[in-house]
């Protein structure tokens, strides 16, 4: 009898363990898709079947310690009429203690979207203070500060962490800082923008470049300079170099810190065979914004050859090569080396 009872107990334990393992396995399969969506910030790649049937209670955490209830909340958030359901799931996720503060961050984003700024600020502050070097937490917290026009808190928050984050995140952080601060454009913001531009030679984020230009020159002036440069480029392509030159010159007068304007003007001078002017103009380009890949140095070298300044031309040719410009030495080699 005892043996029979033991077998019965063992059977039920086996069934429970099997069922438990099946649920965990099912969850891990779902997590592999969900974590990909999180990393790409694209939840459209998650099939509806998985969204609706996410195993978020057993287990209740992903392998990366994010509450599964919170992940389901994010997955359904963009679906019409499900904001309330998403908030309920986030409240469940909030009851699960982790050190990631993902749930609070998402709650902040939802409250911000439905214009409940006090709640958005409350949760974003918890997330930011809990994990201040997480760029996502910074962005949500900064958004609520910007909406409340907390200028000094915004500046203080940014400068407290900007040198502590990884270099790969610096441009993203700066983008949100300047986007939020442009509403308060003043002399201090202009200086901050110039400092960032001068200390970061190779800004890859196009939106950040535009925002820095807006902060330095003002939105209307920046747009006007860009428009002049665009029209100048169209004239240049049509080989109307004189008209292009005038427009590039005007663009530089309005925005003197965009290197592409200088590059375009120097190219127009070269095509017009104003070779001395090419060299003279090159010397006026501010060192702190010269982001050349060697192209304008190559044109300057060729211009100097035309006016018989071979030694200086060779210096520019060497500089062009060092900057990485691909030079065909068969077609151009005034230096005999």
pLDDT of residue 11: 41
CA distance 1 to 219: 87
Structure tokens at 219: 């939105």
Does residue 47 belong to any structural domain of this protein? yes
Does residue 184 belong to any structural domain of this protein? no
260-266 long-range contacts, CB within 8 A, separation 24+: 260/229, 261/225, 261/229, 262/289, 262/290, 262/296, 263/292, 263/295, 263/296, 264/229, 264/232, 264/233, 264/236, 266/296, 266/299, 266/300
> Is residue 135 a contact partner of residue 115, using CB atoms and an 8 Å limit?
no
Give this prediction's pTM: 0.74
pLDDT of residue 16: 42
Does residue 212 belong to any structural domain of this protein? no
Which three-class secondary structure state does DSSP give residue 179?
helix
pLDDT of residue 103: 85
pLDDT of residue 294: 94
User: If the chain, 337 residues long, is cut into consecutive pieces of 10 residues, what is the mean pLDDT of each piece?
Assistant: 50 44 53 64 67 60 63 76 82 77 86 89 92 90 93 95 91 95 95 93 89 95 97 98 98 95 98 97 93 94 95 94 82 77
Does residue 209 belong to any structural domain of this protein? no
Q: What single-letter DSSP state applies at residue 326?
A: -
Domain total for the chain?
Answer: 1
Dihedral through CA 301, CA 307, CA 311, CA 316, nearest 10?
-10
Does residue 53 belong to any structural domain of this protein? yes
CA distance 259 to 264: 9
Structural domain including 44 reads 7-79
Nearest to 180, CA basis, from 220, 147, 221, 206:
147
Does residue 263 belong to any structural domain of this protein? no
If you search the block for the tokens 């099946």, which residue do you land on?
A: 22
CA distance 206 to 3: 74
Does residue 67 belong to any structural domain of this protein? yes
Does residue 73 belong to any structural domain of this protein? yes
């Amino acid at each position: 009898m005892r043996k029979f009872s033991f077998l019965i107990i063992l059977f039920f334990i086996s069934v429970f363990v099997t069922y438990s393992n099946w649920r965990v396995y099912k969850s891990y399969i779902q997590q592999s898709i969900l974590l990909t969506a999180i990393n790409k910030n694209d939840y459209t790649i998650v099939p509806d079947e998985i969204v609706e049937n996410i195993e978020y209670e057993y287990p209740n955490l992903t392998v990366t310690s994010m509450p599964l209830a919170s992940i389901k909340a994010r997955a359904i958030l963009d679906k019409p009429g499900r904001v309330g359901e998403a908030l309920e799931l986030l409240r469940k996720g909030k009851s699960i203690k982790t050190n990631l503060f993902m749930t609070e961050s998402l709650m902040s984003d939802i409250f911000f979207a439905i214009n409940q700024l006090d709640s958005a600020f409350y949760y974003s502050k918890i997330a930011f203070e809990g994990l201040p070097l997480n760029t996502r937490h910074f962005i949500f917290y900064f958004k609520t500060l910007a909406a409340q026009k907390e200028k000094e808190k915004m500046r203080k928050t940014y400068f407290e962490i900007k040198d502590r984050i990884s270099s790969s995140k610096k441009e993203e952080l700066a983008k949100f800082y300047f986007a939020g601060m442009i509403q308060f454009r003043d002399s201090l913001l202009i200086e901050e923008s110039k400092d960032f531009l001068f200390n970061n030679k190779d800004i890859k984020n196009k939106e950040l470049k535009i925002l820095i230009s807006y902060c330095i020159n003002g939105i209307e002036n920046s747009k006007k300079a860009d428009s002049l440069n665009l029209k100048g480029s169209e004239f240049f392509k049509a080989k109307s170099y004189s008209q292009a030159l005038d427009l590039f010159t005007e663009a530089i007068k309005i925005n003197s810190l965009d290197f592409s304007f200088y590059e375009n003007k120097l190219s127009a001078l070269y095509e017009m065979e104003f070779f001395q002017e090419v060299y003279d103009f090159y010397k006026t380009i501010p060192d702190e914004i010269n982001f050349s890949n060697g192209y304008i140095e190559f044109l300057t070298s060729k211009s100097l050859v035309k006016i018989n300044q071979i030694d200086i031309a060779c210096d520019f040719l060497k500089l062009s090569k060092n900057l990485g410009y691909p030079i065909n030495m068969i077609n151009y080699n005034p230096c005999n080396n």
